[in-house]
Structure formats: C-alpha cells, structure tokens
Amino acid sequence: MGVNGIYGLSGSGLDVESLVKMGMKGKQNQYDKMYKREMTNEYTKTALNELYNKVNTYNLSELTNYKKQSDMAAKSASSSDDKKITVNANGAAAVMSHTVTVQSLASNAYFMSNAPITRSYQPDPSDPHPPDKSKSTELADIAFKRIEKLTTLGPGGVKQYRVHYTDGTNAVVNEDDTALSFEMRDKFGAPPADTYTIKYTFKDLVENKKTLNDLASSIQNASVGSNGSSRQVAKKANFNASYDAATGSFSIYNKNGGADHVIDIKTLDKGSTQLMNNLHLAKYDQSTNSLTPLTAFTQGVGQSHGGTAGQVTVDGRTYSIDENRLVAGGVTYNFLNKTAPGDTVTVSVSQNVDAVVDRVKKFVESYNKLLDELQKEYNTAHDKDYDPLTKEQEKGMSEEQVKRWNEKAKGGLLYHNAQLGRLINKMREAVATPVTAVDSKYNSASSLGITTQVGNNHGHLTLNEDKLKKALAEDPDSVYRVFGSLDEKDDFKKSGISMRLSKVSLDSLKDIAKEAGTKSDWDDSSALGNLIRSQKKKMKDFKNLLDDFQSQLYKKYDAMESALQRMNSTYSSIFGAK
C-alpha cells in the first residue's frame, strides 16, 4: 500500500512494494543489529542477577552456619541422674565435668478451685418453670442472683436491667454500666502501668452471655499500655487461665516463677467480689503439694500469692533461680527434682566430634557446589553463531526451535567475566590462607584436612576426616577458631574462613549490583540498566526515522508512478491507442 493506493498497476512494470522493501533493507539491518545488542545486554544483566542470587543465598543460608560456635564447636552433655537434672551444652561449653546439687526448686504462683464452683442464681419466684442453672458457666449466674431485662427503655433509649445482688439489694442499671471489674498484677513492686483491669458490662453478661471460658481468655490476654500511642507498646500479662469443664475447676497460673512473680487480685465491685468467692480459689504450695484456701474476697482489698525461688549449686557456686532452668558456662541445666542431702549430680561435657565433622563436610559440599557453578559460568564461551532472534526471525521457527536457540543465545555471556574471575580467586584465597589469629598448629583449612587435590586447577576441596578428627582430639576448639575467628578491624589474615568468605561474597554482591543491579528489571541505576535504557531510546528514535524513511520511499515511487502514467497518456494521445 503506497501513498495513493495500490502500486504497479499503471503498466510501468514497477514492483513498488519490492522496491520499498529493498530500499528499507539496509536500514532494517541497522535496526536489527541495535536490537540484538540491546537483547544481549538484557541477557547479560539477567545472568549477572542470577549470579547475585546464588552468591547471596550462599552467604545468607550457608555461611551463617559455619560462623556459629554452637555448630563448629559442638558439645554433648550428660547427667548422672536425668530424673533430677537434664542438660545440654552449646559450643562455648568447656570439655569438663560439673558437680551440681539442687537444694530447692523454683515454683510459680498458682490458684485453682478446691471446691465446686457456686452459682448465685435464684429464679424469679413467679416463674412456674425456672431454668436449671446448677451447672451454668455464665458469669451472670455465678456472680448475681438474677438479672432481669426491663421492657421500657431508659433515658436516651438505652436498654436497662434490674440486677439482684446476693446481699439482697437490687438496682436498675444501663446496659453499658460495669457489671464486673477487678484488677490483677503479675509482679510485686510493679508500677501502676503493670496493673491489668478485667471488666465486663451488663450487656456483656446478659446479651453476649460471657462465660468462665471468656473470663479465662480475658485474664490471659489482659494487657496495659495499649492507648494508640506509637511510643507506648502494650504489655501483656504473664498469666495462664483456664476453666476445666470436666472437673468444674477454674485456675490461674503465673508463667514466671520466683517470689516476685505473683497473682494479685483486687475486686472493685459487689459482682466481681461474689464471682471470685464463688470460684473457691486456693493457692498451691509445691513444696507440700497442697492447696490452701484463700480468705474471702472483700471489695477493694487485694489478695496476693507469689511463687518461690529455687536454690542450686554448680561447681561450688550457689544460684537463686526463678525458673527451674539455669545456663552457666555454656551448659543448660533443667532441674526436675531436689537432690537428697549430701548427694550430687555429675554433669559431663564432651566434644561432639560427629556433629563437627558433619558440619565441616557440609561446608566442603556447599563450597564446591557454588565454586563448580561459578567455574562453569566463567569457562563456558558464548557461541557466536547464536545471536538473539528478531521477531521476524522467530516467525519462521517453531516454538521449540526458538526455545533452544534462545538457550544458546543466553549461554556463555559471563565467559571470563572480570568480576566472576575475581570472586573465584578470592574464594580460593579465603580457604587457602592460614588464620594468623589462631595460636595453634591447627590454624588453617589444610591443617584440618581440607585441601585441594594436586593437579586440580579448579580449587575443588576434599576432606580427610581422619585428619580432622585428630585435630579435634588434640585441640577441640580448633575448627571453630579456624572458621569463626572474628577480627574487629576485619583483617583478612586474622579472620576465620567463614568470615572471609562472607566478606568476599558481600564485596562481590556490591560489584554485581553496581554493574547489573539485583533484579532483571532494567529500570535501575546499574551500569547495564542505564545502558539498556539508553539503547531502547536510540532504538525508538531510529524506529521513527525508519517510518519517515519508508514514507519518503513511497512518496518517491508514487511520483515515479504518476510520471509514468502521464507519459503513457501523452504517448497514447500522440500515436493513438491501439
């Protein structure tokens, strides 16, 4: 289609469409070259982004494990009497034995019902068929004789009730008036902000029918400080509370042990006072395994019960404990029972050789896996016969052919990439260089049995387990120091292998991000991102020029076509048409 319509019908013999295509061919070739260069840069950026992800994953998921003393200097601990004490040890624990006695265990403040819960409910005398509320769990039935809905609304259209108290009095109340309220504290000497208020309205009790299970939930989810201020973070109470329907028992438990951690309850009205008294709470004494009933609650007067501190002695040092657990010298002690007077428990800490060997094996495997992937990228050359396909080229190929072609077009783009080569060399150096901060003959990977095979120019590591076990036997902390030594000034030679590899990885990630960003999107500030954007703009401008050039060609051939038509017309008028 030309400027004035269909060409080549004047009898001139001109094939206008073919002439335009031929005229455009050179320009189109220029555009295709620009397109292929731009796509190659996109492929290269994607390849570098994938490299970034591999290195970043290795640094975050793998190297972290080899910096920990708990992993690289793993210890095992055993107790001579695990019915009284169970133990475990972390990497910081010394290989030695400890002598332990348990004079007393810590306990937690604990209230529970020691008698069936009483229901205060009394039916309306005029009701010929009153409901059976003897097993009701509704708070209204436990705290009050009866609450009746009034048929008339109060001022402002508010629902009202008549409440009958257990002392024989009654009153008309609004639905939003407070029916039950009491304060709780979980620690002695706590500031006012640590007083938790539990409150229910009459609507909560009558319309929403709050139960003992709701009460338990309110107690253990109680919090203070939640006033919407960004500076004041809500603090949750340390209570557990529950209602056991099978036994008909209500319990409250302070999750923290020790004498300072308490259950302190102060009722603020007649309803909550009756409720607490009807729960028949008693305090539990762990030392005697007995329950002692609380005195009757009085409105406005608090009742408190604290736990008890435990006392244990480890290697001659006595500790006061608020929970039956102690961490000392890298050993965690869990105390289950008291030791008899004069008896002791022996805790033995030893090197967990198998765990350390397994950890080193995993290091070698993960290092080799990454190095193999990097080496493959670095040493695979790009096949120059496979440039990115243009859209026109793809039209003449099947979907599978396009896929295979693009795989080859994207391959080998990091061949002898400078950043990749630097990373590979730095990784090898990080493993091969002795750790000068370690004052031992076991101060390098090779001294621990981690070596590169002779003649293997790829830096692939192998592990001699016997040599590693010998090092652990002679110097139990050698592996951790070689891998995890941390130098405050980040001195390469003084830092452990894991620290070095992490530094190498981070430096490489910065370089890759500077050149190609961290994602395949080209809308970033990386060098390749800027280049791709610049190329796309040039291609867009060149495409506009192509459209203008094509229009000019059509105009040119349109003029030629018109001229030939005029010539033919003149010829016919002079010589006569046949």
Predicted confidence (pLDDT) per residue in 460-474, tens digit:
899 999 999 999 988
> Rounded to the nearest 5 degrees, what angle is found at the Cα of 169, between the Cα atoms of 168 and 171?
145
pLDDT tens digits, 508-521: 999 999 988 888 77
Name the residue among 564, 391, 560, 565 with its Cα closest to residue 20.
Answer: 560
Phi-psi region of 447 (alpha: psi -120 to 50; beta: other; left: phi over 0): alpha
Instruction: Give the model's confidence band at 322: pLDDT under 50 very low, under 70 low, under 90 confident, else very high.
Output: very high
Task: List pLDDT tens digits, range 345-382.
Answer: 999 999 889 989 999 999 999 999 999 999 999 999 99
Closest-CA residue to 521 (of 543, 507, 536, 508): 536
Comparing 106-115, 367-376, 381-390, 540-549, the range with the smallest average pLDDT is 540-549
Residues β-bridged to residue 142: none
| The Cα angle at residue 244 between residues 242 and 247, in degrees rounded to 5 | 145
More confident residue, 42 or 254: 254
In angstroms, the CA 345 to CA 100 distance is 5
Write out pLDDT tens, residues 158-188: 999 999 999 999 999 999 999 999 999 999 8
* Per-residue pLDDT at 315: 97
3-state secondary structure of 221: coil
Highest mean pLDDT among 320-324, 526-530, 541-545: 320-324
**Residue showing tokens 């001294």:** 447
Residues 6+ apart with CB under 8 A from 341: none
* Residue bearing the bigger pLDDT, 521 or 194: 194
Asked whether the predicted pLDDT for residue 14 surpasses 80, the reply is no
Residue that wins the pLDDT comparison between 228 and 365:
365
Displacement of CA 124 from its chain's centroid (Å): 58
Of 435, 523, 529, the C-alpha closest to 475 is: 435
Q: In this predicted structure, what is the pLDDT of residue 25?
A: 62
Give the H or E element holding residue 359. Answer: helix 353-379
Confidence grade of residue 229 (pLDDT, cut at 50, 70, 90): very low
Higher-scoring residue by pLDDT: 232, 501: 501
Helix (H) or strand (E) segment spanning residue 407: helix 399-410
**What is the spatial distance between Cα 344 and Cα 326, in angstroms, rounded to a whole number?**
16
- The C-alpha torsion from 21 through 23 and 25 to 28, rounded to 10°, is -100
The reported pTM is 0.63
Is the pLDDT reported for residue 331 higher than 60?
Answer: yes
pLDDT confidence tier of residue 228, bands split at 50, 70 and 90 = very low
The candidate with the shortest Cα–Cα distance to 520, out of 57, 41, 61, is 41
Burial 418-431 (b: 16+ CB within 10 A, else e): ebbeebbebbbebb
**DSSP letters spanning 524-563:** SSSHHHHHHHHHHHHHHHHHHHHHHHHHHHHHHHHHHHHH
Categorize the per-residue pLDDT at 65 as very low, low, confident or very high, splitting at 50, 70 and 90. Answer: confident
According to the model, what pLDDT value does residue 2 have? 41
Which pLDDT score is estimated for 569?
A: 64
CA angle 147, 149, 154 (to 5 degrees): 120
Residue 550 has pLDDT above 80, yes or no: no
